[in-house]
C-alpha cells in the first residue's frame, strides 16, 4: 500500500529543486556535516539531536536522502540527559535490533561503555538483556564521530520555532463522516527562532523533554529540557495550530554525588561481566577497562525524612499535575506507594572514567535541595556525600499517539513524523528504535514506497510501535520483555538473523556489515548441519543440546573432530539456544500464523465506524480515533472486545458492507 504522495505537492517540490524526485533520492558520494547555513532546501528536516533524532538522520541519510538535523548545540548531539547507560530488560533487545538494522546506538555504546553486564542470566535466554554503563562524555563523542560518515547530512545549530505547512486541497469525494481521517495540511519546512527558514516536504520532530519543558526542584521552576539547556516553546504552539492535541508528561532524575565522598566499604560491589558481550555485531570484542558499580539501600530514616517533607515535593504539592513513569517512580512515590517496604535499592553508577560524578540510580527526586542533601546522607555509605547536581523533575508536552499512524507519520499533517518522547515513551533505547522507524518511513514516503512496519513477531521495535498506536500512553511508555508475546523469537542473540536482511533491502546495511552477516549466517547453518549426527557421551547431539547443562565449550569439542577448525563461541551459543527453544518456537510459529489471518485483513482508512451496526459506542469512538490499518491492530485497541472484532469482521466481509464503506 504506502503513503500517497499528492501530485500538487510533488509538482511544487520537484520544480523548486529543478529535478524529479526519483532522480534526487540516491546515494551521495561525498558526505559532509555542515555547521553553517549554506543551503536551505532538503528532502528531510529533523528537529532534535537526541537519540531519536540521530537514528532518524543516520537512517535517512544512508538511504539516500538529503537531511538537515537541527539542534540547539552541536556538542549536545547524543547527550545522555539522565542515566549514562544503554540497554536493560527489553531495552537491550531494542538496541540489538537497531544495530541489526544498521543503526548507531550499538556501535556508540561499544566504544563508550565502561561496564558491560548481561542481565537475567539466571533465567532463560529469551529474556537475557545486555546493559552497559557509559562514559557520559565519550558516548556523545562516539555518536558525533559516527555521524561524520553519514552520506548526506547537514547539522544546523538553532532552535526550531514553527513547522511550515500549507492547506491540503479539499477532496469533494470524501464524505463529511470520514474527512476527519484525511490530512488537512502538508509540511513545507521549518522556521527557526532567528527567522531562518529551511524548506523540505518532510519533517521529523524528536524534541525529547524539550517541548515546553519545565524543570522542578522543590518550589523552584526553570524552563528547560535538561540542566543548562533551554526549552522549545514555539513548537507546541505550532503543533496545536496544525490541529494536533497535546498532553503533558513528567519524568525525573536523581542527584549526582562526588565519587570521593562515598564510603565504598559499606556498599556492595557490582562488577561487570568477565567477558563483556558487545551490543553491535560489528564489534569483535570489548577491550576497554571495566569499572565497578556499587549497591546500597535506603532505610526507615530516609523514608521518614521524605514523608516529613512530602508537602514540599512538586508531585504532592500540586505543582506538577502530569503523569510520571509508573515503572521508574521517584523515591517519593516509592515511599508512598510501597509503604510496607523498609528499604529500596540504590545503584551507585560512575558517569565516566575521568568524571567525578556518580549517578544515584533509584532515588529520582524533585524535593528541595536541602531535603535531598539530608536524606542522601542518611543512606549507608553516603554519610559524607557531596551532591554535585540535584535531582529534579521535568514536565514536557507530548502528542498522544491516537493521532499517529503506524509509520509514525501524523494523521493530520502529511509529511510530519514524530519519534521519541514526543510520542509518550521514556528511555534512550525506545527513542532510538522510533527514530530509525521514522527515518526509514520518511524516505519511503518520499519515494512513494511501501511503509516500513515491523510486526509484533519480528521485533521489540514492532511491539513498541504497535503498543503506542493501539494503546496510546497516559504515562511514559517503557519497554519490558513481558510486553512481547513472542519473546522466545525476539531474543537479543538473534536480532541480526531476524532483521539484517530487512535492513539490507532498505539500503541501511553497508557491504562490510552484509559480508559479516552472511559469514555468521553461513556458519550457523554449517554448525546446525554438523549437529545432525554424532553425540556426547552416547547421547545424540540433537537431544543433548536441549539439556540445561549443555555448554558451548562441550559442543565445540564434540564438533571439532568433524570440523577440524575452531568455531565462534557466540555462534555456538545461539545454536544451543535455538535447540533448547525449538519446540516452543514451533508452537509460537503456529500462533503467529493464526494471528496473521487477523493481521492480514486490511481496514479502509476512511471506514465509517459510526455507521457500522453491532459496535458498542466505546468501540466506535476508539476505532474512529485510532483508525487501525488491520483487523489485528483493531483487536488490540484498548476498549475493543472480541464481540466488537466479530461485528467488524462480519460487517466488512459482506458484499453489501464493502460497498457501503
When pLDDT is cut at 50, 70 and 90, the band that residue 646 belongs to is: confident
Tell me the residue range of the domain where 311 lies: 253-392
Residues 91 and 107 in one domain: yes
Number of folded domains that form the chain: 4
Task: Write out the E strands in 135-253.
Answer: 153-157, 160-167, 185-192, 197-199, 202-205, 214-217, 220-223, 247-253
Residues 18 and 139 in one domain: yes
Give the end of a domain, one of 443, 475, 499.
499
When pLDDT is cut at 50, 70 and 90, the band that residue 283 belongs to is: very high
Residues 449 and 569 in one domain: no
Give the end of a domain, one of 447, 470, 499.
499
pLDDT tens profile 488-505: 889 999 999 999 999 999
Residues 261 and 242 in one domain: no
Residue with cell string 548441519: 529
When pLDDT is cut at 50, 70 and 90, the band that residue 638 belongs to is: confident
| Most confident segment among 19-33, 205-219, 220-234, 514-528 | 205-219
Q: What is the pLDDT of residue 548?
A: 81
When pLDDT is cut at 50, 70 and 90, the band that residue 563 belongs to is: low
Residues 73 and 104 in one domain: yes
Tell me which of 390 and 176 has the higher pLDDT.
Answer: 390
Nearest Cα to Cα of residue 170 among 188, 158, 182: 182
Residue 412 has φ and ψ, to the nearest 5°, of -80, -30
Q: Which three cell numbers stand for residue 629?
A: 490499518
When pLDDT is cut at 50, 70 and 90, the band that residue 595 belongs to is: confident
Are the C-beta atoms of residues 243 and 186 closer than 8 Å to each other? Answer: no
**Mean pLDDT of all residues belonging to the chain:** 87
pLDDT tens profile 83-126: 999 999 999 999 999 999 999 999 999 999 999 999 998 888 88
CATH number for the domain spanning 616: value is 1.10.150.570
On the question of pLDDT at 309 being above 50, the answer is yes
Residues 99 and 60 in one domain: yes
Q: Is 180 a domain residue? A: no
pLDDT tens profile 600-613: 788 888 888 988 88
Q: What is the pLDDT of residue 366?
A: 95
Q: Is 228 a domain residue? A: no
Q: What is the pLDDT of residue 567?
A: 66
Nearest Cα to Cα of residue 57 among 133, 124, 156: 156
Residues 270 and 363 in one domain: yes
Other beta carbons less than 10 A from residue 597's beta carbon: 10
Q: Which of 393-402, 473-482, 600-609 has the lowest mean pLDDT?
A: 600-609
When pLDDT is cut at 50, 70 and 90, the band that residue 15 belongs to is: very low
Residues 155 and 190 in one domain: yes
Are the C-beta atoms of residues 163 and 235 closer than 8 Å to each other? Answer: yes
Distances (CA, A) of 249 to 314, 326, 352: 14, 12, 29
Q: What is the pLDDT of residue 201?
A: 97
Q: Is 221 a domain residue? A: no
CATH number for the domain spanning 22: value is 3.50.50.60
Tell me which of 43 and 640 has the higher pLDDT.
Answer: 43
On the question of pLDDT at 592 being above 90, the answer is no
pLDDT tens profile 149-176: 999 999 999 999 999 999 988 644 433 3
Give the end of a domain, one of 532, 566, 588.
588
Q: Is 593 a domain residue? A: no
Residues 344 and 440 in one domain: no
Residues 578 and 492 in one domain: no
Cα end-to-end span (Å), the chain: 18
Residues 138 and 101 in one domain: yes
Residues 241 and 111 in one domain: yes
pLDDT tens profile 219-256: 999 999 888 888 888 999 999 999 999 999 999 999 99
Mean pLDDT of 133-148: 97
CATH number for the domain spanning 337: value is 2.40.30.260
Amino acid at each position: 500500500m504506502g503513503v500517497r504522495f499528492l501530485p500538487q505537492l510533488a509538482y511544487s517540490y520537484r520544480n523548486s529543486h529543478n529535478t524529479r524526485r526519483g532522480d534526487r533520492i540516491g546515494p551521495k558520494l561525498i558526505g559532509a556535516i555542515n555547521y553553517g547555513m549554506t543551503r536551505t532546501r532538503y528532502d528531510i528536516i529533523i528537529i532534535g539531536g537526541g537519540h531519536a533524532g540521530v537514528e532518524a538522520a543516520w537512517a535517512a541519510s544512508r538511504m539516500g536522502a538529503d537531511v538537515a538535523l537541527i539542534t540547539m548545540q552541536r556538542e549536545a548531539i547524543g547527550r545522555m540527559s539522565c542515566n549514562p547507560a544503554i540497554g536493560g530488560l527489553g531495552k537491550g533487545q531494542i538496541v540489538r535490533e537497531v544495530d541489526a538494522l544498521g543503526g548507531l546506538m550499538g556501535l556508540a555504546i561499544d566504544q563508550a561503555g565502561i561496564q558491560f553486564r548481561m542481565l537475567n542470566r539466571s533465567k532463560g535466554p529469551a529474556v537475557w538483556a545486555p546493559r552497559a554503563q557509559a562514559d557520559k562524555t565519550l558516548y556523545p563523542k562516539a555518536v558525533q564521530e559516527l555521524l561524520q560518515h553519514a552520506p548526506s547530512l547537514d547539522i544546523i545549530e538553532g532552535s526550531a520555532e514553527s513547522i511550515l505547512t500549507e492547506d491540503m486541497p479539499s477532496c469533494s469525494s470524501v464524505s463529511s463522516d470520514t474527512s476527519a481521517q484525511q490530512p488537512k495540511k502538508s509540511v513545507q519546512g521549518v522556521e527557526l527562532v532567528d527567522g531562518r527558514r529551511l524548506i523540505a516536504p518532510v519533517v521529523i520532530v524528536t524534541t525529547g523533554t524539550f517541548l515546553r519543558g519545565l524543570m522542578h526542584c522543590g518550589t523552584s521552576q526553570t524552563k528547560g529540557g535538561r540542566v543548562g539547556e533551554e526549552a522549545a516553546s514555539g513548537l507546541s504552539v505550532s503543533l496545536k495550530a496544525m490541529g494536533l492535541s497535546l498532553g503533558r508528561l513528567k519524568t525525573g532524575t536523581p542527584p549526582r554525588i562526588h565519587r570521593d565522598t562515598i564510603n565504598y566499604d559499606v556498599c556492595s560491589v557490582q562488577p561487570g561481566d568477565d567477558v563483556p558481550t558487545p551490543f553491535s555485531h560489528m564489534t569483535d570484542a570489548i577491550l576497554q577497562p571495566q569499572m565497578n558499580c556499587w549497591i546500597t539501600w535506603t532505610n526507615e530514616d530516609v523514608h521518614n525524612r521524605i514523608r516529613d517533607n512530602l508537602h514540599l515535593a512538586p508531585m504532592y504539592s500540586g505543582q506538577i499535575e502530569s503523569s510520571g513513569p509508573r515503572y521508574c517512580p521517584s523515591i517519593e512515590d516509592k515511599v508512598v506507594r510501597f509503604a510496607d517496604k523498609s528499604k529500596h535499592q540504590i545503584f551507585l553508577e560512575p558517569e565516566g572514567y575521568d568524571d567525578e560524578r556518580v549517578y544515584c540510580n533509584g532515588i529520582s527526586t524533585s524535593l528541595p535541595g536541602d531535603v535531598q542533601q539530608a536524606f542522601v546522607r542518611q543512606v549507608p555509605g553516603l554519610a559524607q556525600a557531596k551532591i554535585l547536581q540535584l535531582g529534579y523533575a521535568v514536565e514536557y508536552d507530548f502528542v498522544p499517539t491516537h493521532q499517529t499512524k503506524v509509520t509514525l507519520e501524523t494523521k493530520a499533517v502529511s509529511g510530519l513524523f514524530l519519534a521519541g518522547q514526543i510520542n509518550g515513551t521514556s528511555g534512550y533505547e525506545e527513542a532510538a528504535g522510533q527514530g530509525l522507524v521514522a527515518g526509514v518511513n520518511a524516505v519511503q514516503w518520499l519515494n512513494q514506497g511501501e511503509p516500513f512496519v515491523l510486526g509484533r513477531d519480528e521485533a521489540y521495535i514492532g511491539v513498541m510501535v504497535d503498543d503506542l498506536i493501539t494503546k496510546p500512553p497516559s504515562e511514559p511508555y517503557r519497554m519490558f520483555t513481558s510486553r512481547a508475546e513472542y519473546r522466545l523469537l525476539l531474543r537479543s542473540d538473534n536480532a541480526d538473523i531476524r532483521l539484517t536482511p530487512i535492513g539490507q533491502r532498505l539500503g541501511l546495511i553497508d557491504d562490510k556489515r552484509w559480508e559479516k552477516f552472511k559469514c555468521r549466517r553461513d556458519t550457523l547453518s554449517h554448525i546446525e548441519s554438523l549437529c545432525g549426527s554424532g553425540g556426547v557421551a552416547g547421547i545424540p547431539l540433537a537431544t543433548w543440546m536441549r539439556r540445561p547443562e549443555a555448554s558451548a565449550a562441550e559442543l565445540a569439542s564434540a564438533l571439532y573432530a568433524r570440523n577440524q577448525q575452531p568455531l565462534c563461541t557466540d555462534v555456538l551459543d545461539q545454536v544451543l539456544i535455538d535447540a533448547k527453544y525449538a519446540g516452543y518456537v514451533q508452537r509460537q510459529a503456529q500462533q503467529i500464523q493464526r494471528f496473521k489471518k487477523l493481521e492480514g485483513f486490511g481496514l479502509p482508512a476512511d471506514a465509517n465506524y459510526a455507521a457500522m451496526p453491532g459496535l458498542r459506542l466505546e468501540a466506535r469512538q476508539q476505532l474512529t480515533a485510532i483508525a487501525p490499518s488491520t483487523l489485528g491492530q483493531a483487536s488490540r485497541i484498548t476498549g475493543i472486545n472480541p464481540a466488537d472484532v466479530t461485528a467488524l469482521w462480519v460487517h466488512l466481509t459482506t458484499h453489501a458492507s464493502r460497498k457501503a464503506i
